[in-house]
Structure 1
Amino acid sequence: MSTPLKIAVHGAAGRMGRRVVALASEDSALELVAAMENDQHPLLGQDAGDLAGVDTLDIALSSKWPNDADVVIDFSLPEAIDRCIEKCVLHETALVVATTGMTDAQVERLNEASESIPIVWAPSMSLAVNLSMKLAQQITEKLLDVPGGLDIEIIERHHRYKADAPSGTALKFGDLIAEKLGDDTKHVHGREGHTGQRTRNEIGYHAVRVGDNPGEHTIVFGMLGERIELNVAASSRDCYAAGALAAAKWLSDKPEGMYDMFDVLEM
């Protein structure tokens, strides 16, 4: 039997971190070796398994960084990502980043870190979302020259607690679609007042925040006389946790570099 992959979860007390801990505890190919939070977190010292609603794992929530992890999975906040990057580089630990809302400077630090460690970074760890992104690109490419023109709008729905808008996933959809539309694509966020006629080279974004929605994205491809709506929706957060764990397994034997979920899915 092969040795289990040792993983650590950064942001382990959050909604997503707890689900990563829970699913990892059920996977014999994985061994949870650390569950990390910031040094002021009120739940420090509590067992990660108890927090995740599974059996006690004898892994205390801690601000200390492990030195024996093979891969760190980060589901934290932008204000915590700098320390995570620094520690992973210091310990030469592979890193899966699912945190969204990072600044340009943080993205640059992440890219610099990928020169010394392997990193998977994606705005969504969902396998279905990433497959849908490829479909969105293919649809755009095939309809570029459709008679009457093509209009593309992105509608995303998330829970009331989400702090950034539009979602990182919606922005990624837009960036991938824009690659097919061309360099003059405009990204328009919401509409209000007398905006005038819709231009032909724009992508519209609309963010909805309701209840406990774990994430839903609808890409509307509008033409004269017909439309396509590509919808991908999560029914629970487990799809993101499962995707992050799949990324960790895939990343474990990769050389330094920046990867994404398309690489994980070999698309």
Structure 2
Amino acid sequence: MNIAVFGYGMMGKFVCEDVASAGLQIAGVIEKRDGAQAMSPVTEDILYKSLNDIKEKVDVIIDFSNPANLDEILEYAIENQIGAVICSTGFTAEQLTKIKQASEKTAILFSRNMSLGVNVISEVLKQITPILADAFDIEIIEKHHNQKVDSPSGTAKLFYDSINESLNGEKEAVYGREGIVGKRTKKEVGIHAIRGGSIVGEHSIIFAGQDEIIELKHEALSKRIFSQGSVKAAKFLAGKAPGFYTMKEVLDIK
């Protein structure tokens, strides 16, 4: 099975290592930035500027780059009828629509977080939120390193979507609060972003009730959990029929 890795930053390097560890082949690595240097298991001869430059047959693309590369990835996947695992974050609403539309023509797996723990929490939220929502206020806090360029995190959005989906869309996201904003309404879900140091990723969902607090928390201690999840997703996606897939299917979460 041949994997094309799009993006050769820290996450891309982890993905390449995990692809090799899983006994899969790296067909090519795409890095748009100049000056990229290949590191084992990647060699200079498979480091490219474009997917169309790859010489080997590609079975699945794993993308850990940025939203600017989405069109190239989707076009290549559709043209070659191969799967694409989209792991980048920060997409616009228009780009998310493009991803959904592309899934009608080829297999697309999109997830805002590739880890087992986060996806389990996402499903747990769908179950407990309808029980707690009337009596508890809900807030989401996410913390990341000072190099992260998008806010709030894709994972915070994933958790908010799980909450809102379970309540038939009755909640409204409020991104931070400043000034005299008035009393909190029952429709609000506050989403707050912290940036600093080398925090890999930490997310807390707080259910604050009268005289009691319930908190669900996930802390990533290494980015490796995301690359390992993406390789598992690629193995799942290979040969799949056109469709929109998520980590829920990969992890067989019922």
Which category of TM-score, normalised to the shorter sequence, fits these structures?
Answer: over 0.9
Return the match for 1:42 from 28, 34, 52: 34
- Paired letter, 1:237: K
Pairing partner for 2:126 from 137, 141, 162: 137
Partners of 1:55 and 1:103 in 2: CA distance: 33
Q: Distance in 1 between matches of 2:112 and 2:78?
A: 21
Partner-residue secondary structure (3-state), 1:164: coil
Determine whether 1:266 maps to 2:249: no
Cα RMSD after superposing both structures: 1.5
Q: Which residue of 2 aligns with 1:18?
A: 13
For the residue of structure 1 that corresponds to 2:138, the secondary structure is strand
For structure 1, list consecutive stretches of 5 or more residues without a partner in the other structure.
none
1:9 equivalent to 2:5? Answer: yes
Query: Could you tell me which residue of structure 1 aligns to residue 157 of structure 2?
Result: 171
- Report % sequence identity: 38
Distance change >3 Å, CA 258–CA 161, structure 1 → 2:
same
Of 90-99 and 132-141, more deviation after overlay is shown by: 132-141
Which amino acid counterpart does residue 95 of structure 2 have in structure 1? Q
Instruction: Rate the CA distance shift 1:55–1:92 in 2: closer, same or farther, 3 A.
Output: closer
The CA distance in 2 between the partners of 1:171 and 1:131, in whole Å, is: 15
Query: Counterpart of 2:188 in structure 1: which amino acid?
Result: E
Distance (whole Å) between structure 2 residues aligned to residue 175 and residue 34 of structure 1: 34
* 1:181-196 equivalences in 2 (<5 Å): 181-196=167-182
Alpha-carbon contact 2:175-2:192 (below 8 Å) kept: yes
Matched, 1:228 2:214: yes
Matched residue, 1:98: 87
Q: Separation in 2 of the partners of 1:243 and 1:72?
A: 14
| TM-score between both structures, scaled by the size of structure 2 | 0.93
The aligned counterpart of 1:159 is: 145
Alignment of 1:212-223 (within 5 A): 212-223=198-209
> Equivalents in 2 of 1:261, 1:245: separation in Å?
11
Residue 58 of structure 1: CA displacement?
6.0
Question: 5 Å matches for 1:57-76?
Answer: 57=43, 59-65=45-51, 66=54, 68-76=57-65
Q: Is the Cα–Cα contact under 8 Å of residues 203 and 217 in structure 2 kept in the other structure?
A: yes
* Residues paired across the two proteins, number: 250
Using the TM superposition, name which of 157-166 and 179-188 deviates more: 179-188
Indicate yes or no: 2:75 matched with 1:80. Answer: no
- Distance in 2 (CA, whole Å) between partners of 1:197 and 1:182 is 23
Which residue of structure 2 aligns with residue 31 of structure 1?
25
Tell me whether 58-67 or 91-100 shows the greater mean CA deviation. Answer: 58-67
2:239 to 253, 256, 265: 253
